């Protein structure tokens, strides 16, 4: 009887196949690690370039504020650069919306005279306001006028009847005219504020309330007359301080419309572009700085460079 032996399997070439598969796996892992490393290095480089460009743009804002004019410079050892341009906020506009909202007791200033590069008041080379009326706009749209938090406004108009405030820098003749508006009918019975009118628009924004002002005198019964004697003369009206009241928990916006007259610049706008040394990254910053004014505490204070004479 013949014994059958198991058939031999041909195993030639399997070792080579296993080696090739192993090398393929290792090569795939190595290439993946290399690719990830190259990507990480590239991202890190781009982040550094972007950070340098952003820092250069910030330096451009600071430099423009110091110089007061357009400026271009190279900064840092790596050679990043910036180009900053400066312009007036709302200059030549018939209306202006203040860029920040305020709480009760806080104030914003609307300027009727221009500011030089050094901050001095001037009407030389830059237009000053010569209008006679204005509309104050305030309050977030949708605010209930009879709610306890509905904002009222107190308006203080600083003016110089001697017309020496701008030309000679002597502000001893400055006077203040005031007006107040309140949309809340219940509060007006006790605070004696003027009634606020309805919604208005200024500077491309909408507001809940408004109040009309005649800086001189006006036959319109809906406006409050300040009876300022030098209205219409450049340099007469210096600034308007607007303060909100009663809105302790929520901020509200402020705006003004002086159409058909125009406003001088209400501050500086800086557009700064920073570029990294390689030029691979560019960052832009837009910054604002409005012109401030004397704090309200001086309304009830006495100040003298010399002794006070009773």
Q: What is the pLDDT of residues 257-307, one digit of tens each?
A: 999 999 999 998 899 999 988 888 899 999 888 988 877 666 665 555 556
CA–CA dist 246, 250 (Å, integer): 9
The mean per-residue pLDDT over the stretch 238-261 comes to 95
* Residues 6 or more apart in contact with residue 253 via CB below 8 angstroms: 97, 98, 101, 138, 139, 140, 205, 207
pTM of the predicted structure, to 2 decimals: 0.75
Report in angstroms the alpha-carbon separations of 7 from 2, 4, 11, 288. Answer: 15, 9, 12, 90
Would you say residue 43 has pLDDT above 80? no
Q: What is the mean pLDDT of the chain?
A: 85
Work out the average pLDDT over 21-48. Answer: 74
What pLDDT is stored for residue 246 in this prediction?
Answer: 96
**Contacts with 50 (C-beta within 8 Å, 6 or more apart), sequence order:** 276, 281, 283
Residues 55-86 have pLDDT tens digits of: 899 999 988 888 878 999 988 777 899 999 98
Q: Which residue has the higher pLDDT, 174 or 156?
A: 156
Residue 133 has pLDDT above 60, yes or no: yes
Task: Name every residue whose Cβ is closer than 8 Å to that of residue 234 and which is 6 or more positions away in sequence.
Answer: 113, 123, 127, 128, 129, 130, 166
In Å, how far are 76, 95, 292 from 175, measured between CA atoms? 50, 24, 18
Contact 254, 290 (CB under 8 A): no
Range 135-146 burial, b when 16+ CB lie within 10 A, else e:
bbbbbbeebebe
**What are the extents of the domains in the chain?**
19-88+268-295, 90-265
């Amino acid at each position: 009887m013949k014994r059958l032996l198991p058939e031999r399997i041909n195993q030639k070439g399997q070792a080579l196949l296993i080696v090739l598969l192993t090398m393929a796996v290792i090569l795939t892992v190595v290439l993946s690690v290399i690719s990830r490393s190259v990507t990480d290095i590239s991202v890190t480089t781009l982040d550094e370039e972007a950070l340098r460009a952003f820092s250069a743009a910030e330096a451009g804002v600071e430099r423009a504020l110091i110089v007061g004019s357009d400026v271009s410079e190279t900064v840092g050892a790596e050679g990043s650069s910036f180009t900053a341009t400066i312009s007036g906020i709302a200059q030549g506009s018939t209306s202006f919306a203040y860029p920040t909202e305020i709480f009760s007791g806080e104030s914003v200033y609307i300027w009727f005279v221009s500011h030089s590069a050094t901050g001095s008041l001037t009407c030389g080379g830059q237009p000053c306001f010569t209008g006679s009326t204005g509309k104050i706009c305030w309050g977030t749209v949708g605010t209930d006028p009879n709610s306890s938090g509905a904002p009222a406004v107190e308006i203080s108009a600083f003016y110089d009847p001697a017309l020496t405030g701008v030309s000679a820098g002597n502000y001893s003749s400055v006077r203040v005219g005031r007006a107040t508006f309140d949309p809340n009918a219940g509060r007006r019975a006790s605070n004696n504020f003027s009634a606020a009118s309805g919604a208005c628009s200024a500077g491309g924004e909408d507001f809940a309330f408004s109040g009309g002002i005649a800086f001189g005198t006006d036959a319109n019964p809906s406006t409050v007359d300040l009876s300022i004697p030098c209205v219409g003369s450049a340099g007469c009206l210096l600034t308007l301080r607007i303060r909100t009241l009663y809105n302790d928990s929520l901020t509200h916006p402020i705006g003004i419309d002086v159409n058909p007259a125009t406003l001088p610049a209400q501050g500086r706008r800086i557009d700064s572009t920073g570029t990294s040394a390689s030029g691979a990254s560019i960052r832009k910053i837009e910054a604002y700085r409005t012109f401030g004014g004397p704090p309200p505490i001086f309304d009830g204070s006495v100040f003298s460079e010399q002794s006070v004479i009773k």
